[in-house]
Structure 1
Amino acid sequence: MNIDARPLRIATLAHGHPSLSTGGAEIAAHSLHKVLRGSPGVSALHVSCAPSGHIMTLAGGADGNEHLVADTAIDNFSLLRRDPADPAALLGLLESFQPQVIHLHHVLGFGADLLLTLRLAFPAAVIVLTLHEFIAICHNQGQMMRTGGALCERAAPTDCNSCFPEIEPGRFVRREASLRALLSVVDSFIAPSAFLARRYLDWGLPADRMIVIENALDFPPVRQVAATAKARRGRFAYFGQMTPFKGIDILLEAVAAIPDDEWAGSSLVLHASNLERQPEAFRLRIGALIARAGPRVRLVGPYNNADLPRLMADIDWVVVPSIWWENSPLVIQEAFSNRRPVIASAIGGMAEKVIDGRNGLTFAAGDAASLARTLLRAADPKLWSSLQAGVTPPVAANDVGAWHLRLYHHMLARRARA
């Protein structure tokens, strides 16, 4: 029997499942698993974290290749597990499966020290880690933003201490050394944007282990609607979570500042969620801004991904006003999949994907006046038609899955030679 004829066993691990949490990393990890599961010559396992106490059942996992495990209590500073016994359930699943490739999509939920545990338990396996933000570099929720709100260009112990004066610089030095040591067991790092890859390379990850591959995302079929001539293209929409880093307050300030005669015929719809989970000061600020904007803004609330084609068919522009760098925002891919140009902050992964004058418009991040001017400019129907024509659909999930498979095979061959 030819050993190469056996299925390639790939386990993907995620800190959440889309049925429980609709974050971009959770969706990306699960989408990749679905592509791998349907690929010939592959046996795929997907393990997601669920909040402690959650009933460990999973819709769609009846075929036995999707499982939930309780998330691990980790120290928010060191990112290490508080209880070394916590990964027992995960290790049991993996030992039964005997993966040749273990692909993590986050250390949150598991603890960064799981990397060493996996290396010791599966010495022949290839370990891959997709980097979805800067959690290893930045203690401020992995956002690379100063606690005062300014963007941070690179982490340094003294700068980190200025953001968190209660933590002395030496602890940041030890944190960085610990996380770099744990990350050294990873065979390959995947960054969904070149911007994020550069940040981690500057931080010290080895260039020969870094590769840029876009997230594998499944998009609902788009209903083709005949284009109609319009006197104005001022139907704007925001899709996503309402957190302080997403810049929704900047968007609301911009909308409220536009004079009535210039705004006439325009609208903003907020398909947004999780405001109730945010700090009270932020909730009050958003409430006041929505009240100030009045009938210009309609807060709809959360949405299902399956409804996106219908929702985006009813708007002209998707606005992504994040004040942090972002990596590879899912909503930009969703907008392009539905042939909608994007208005985005001109920083980080957003500026990498939204090219001003080609497939959308950009504005100065965190600047409500700059965004207001961009919204007014966007209403021009000729400009909208030109930018819509420049929108390129995202790479198909199957193609992204094929890129991952080539990487896995390459890393397995390299590990076998070593």
Structure 2
Amino acid sequence: MKVLMANKFFFHKGGAEVVMFQEREYLLHAGEQVIDFSMQDERNSESPYESYFVSNKDYRKDSKLSKLNLALSFVHSREAVNKIAALIDKARPDLMHCHNVYHQITPSIISVAKSRSIPVVLTLHDFKPVCPVYLRLRAGQPCSLCLDGDFRHVLINRCAGSSIADSALLYAEATIQRWLGSYEKVDRFLAPSQFMRDAALHRFRSDQVVLLYNGVDTAEIDASAQDDGYVLYLGRLSREKGVETLLRAHQAAGSWDLVVAGTGPLQRDLQMRYRNARFVGQLSGQALKATIGGASAIVVPSEWYENCPMSVLEGMAYGKPVVASRIGGIPELVVDGETGVLFEPGDADELQGHISRLMDDPSLRARMGTSGRIRAERQFSIEKHNADLTDTYRSLMNASGG
């Protein structure tokens, strides 16, 4: 089996890349061939197909003139179309699996694959097909206005950072992609949560969208009995992640230690205003494993519609109780009162109460951590994820005569 795997980043940038590289490694170890398609970047992992990668584009850093010149490629990339056509014609894949492809690569590559009778799978790491700004946030608050297909809301409410120009570009992108039917050509969407699947069903057929939770490699992660008495936040330091709600809860409590691991636009401001927390920056490798292993609990205080956050699955795999917001797909992962505790997004007082109760009761932490590990092994193992993924691939290839 030859799988063409497309994602705009070919390095570990976020959760989408974690999932993509997990699937890629599984396929290679299973003796299958993986054909990479991505964007050029000095941080990329090595790939025998890197000569086909599109040129690097960073729409946030380019000048206004460059943005004007790149506006059309933001919606439809002629470069991506030409390069993936050449790659497909040379490598002859049986199937194309897209992860995050919008903006730098664009969904225009879907039509190229379909014109060659190649089935297309797309993992819904975020809400882009039903929300032009992909986060489903309006003025910093969760929003569902565009789910009915009226993308004018992004323009009316200036959802792209309050910028009329950026919002207009996202509106044009969403409208043109719908007119072209790019996403409608996808054979199978993989939704990593039922919450995401329900959102996608506003636009796509029920048989087109299947539930496939992210997986965590419990064979590679040992449950940790270590408990060094600190609460751990892992993630981006941005408003929608709710990290400031956690910092306010910590400041009000004053009775437990907080470690914040990650970087982001709020980093400097939060470090200046919340000096009692320990900010350790972006962690990876052994440092990350040791920090998770020593934590008393993992906190995921998100204030946007999370999908299937890897931080929750990894916390469970390490045998840690997870304290998380009751929002998006998170309640599908955390069993309230059994593997962790759920709280209302943005409620620092409720969050502070839950964490303080956990930190005062080591036996409760241990019981919840053990239950979380068992749940990760039974429901969210990487083996289960990969088996279901392969079944999806095979069914589409059989239907197409591949």
TM-score by length of 1: 0.81
Report percent identity of matched pairs: 21
Alpha-carbon displacement from aligned partner over 1:337-392 (angstroms, at most 9, x marks no partner): 11111111110011221121011111110222221122212222232233123212
Indicate the residue corresponding to 1:399 in structure 2.
Answer: 384
1:116 to 99, 111, 129: 111
Partner of 2:395: 410
Kindly state the Cα deviation for residue 216 of structure 1 after the two structures are TM-superposed. Answer: 4.3
Consecutive unaligned residues of structure 2, counting only runs of 5 or more, are 60-66
Q: How does 1:120-159 map to 2 (within 5 A)?
A: 120=115, 122-123=116-117, 125-140=118-133, 142-146=134-138, 148-155=139-146, 156-157=150-151, 159=153
The alpha carbon displacement at 1:118 in A equals 2.5
Q: 1:306 to 1:176 in 2, by over 3 A?
A: farther
Higher helix proportion (structure 1 or 2): 2
* Residue identity in the other structure for 1:322: S
Determine if the alignment matches structure 1 residue 300 to structure 2 residue 280.
yes
1:337 alignment partner AA: A
Q: Computing the radius of gyration over CA atoms, which structure comes out larger, 1 or 2?
A: 1
Deviations 1:68-114 (A, max 9, x none): 72356588999844551344333333322100110000222311222
Preserved CA contact (<8 Å) 2:229 2:257:
yes
Aligned length: 377
**Equivalent residue number for residue 63 of structure 2:** none
Instruction: Give the drift of 1:414.
Output: 2.0
**Any unmatched runs of 5+ in structure 1?**
1-7
Which whole-Å CA distance do the structure 2 matches of 1:68 and 1:305 have between them?
29
**1:29 paired to 2:13:** no
Alignment of 1:73-112 (within 5 A): 80-81=74-75, 83-108=77-102, 109-112=104-107
Q: 1:385 aligns with which of 345, 361, 366?
A: 366
In 2: Cα distance, 1:370 partner to 1:206 partner: 39
Counterpart residue number, 1:205: 204
CA distance in 1, matches of 2:195, 2:73: 23
Q: Which residue of 2 aligns with 1:334?
A: 314
Q: Which residue of 1 aligns with 2:270?
A: 286
1:174 Cα deviation from its structure 2 partner: 8.2
SS of 2:341's equivalent in the other structure is strand
1:13-50 Cα shifts (integer Å, max 9, x gaps): 112123xx43010111111011011124x222233323
Conserved 8 A contact 1:236-1:269: yes
Q: Label 1:223 to 1:408 Cα distance change in 2 as closer, same or farther (>3 A).
A: closer
The CA deviation at 1:189 is: 0.6
Task: Look up the match of 1:347.
Answer: 327
CA distance 1:306–1:14, shift in 2 (3 Å): farther
Q: Give 1:163 shift.
A: 2.0
Residues of 1 paired with 2:109 and 2:306: CA distance?
26
Tell me which of 15, 20, 45 is aligned to 1:58. 45
Q: Distance in 2 between matches of 1:92 and 1:158?
A: 36
SS in structure 2 at match of 1:44: strand
Distance 1:219 1:284, change over 3 A: same
User: What is the SS of the residue equivalent to 1:238?
Assistant: strand
- Take 2:38 and 2:208, find their aligned partners in 1: how far apart are those partners? 25
**Structure 2 equivalent of residue 251 of structure 1:** 246
The 5 A counterparts of 1:178-193 are 178-179=177-178, 181-193=181-193
1:17 pairs with one of 10, 13, 24 = 10
* TM-score, structure 2 normalization: 0.84
Does 2:38 align with 1:38? no
Shift of the 186–329 alpha-carbon distance from structure 1 to 2, 3 Å rule, reads: same
1:5 equivalent in structure 2: none
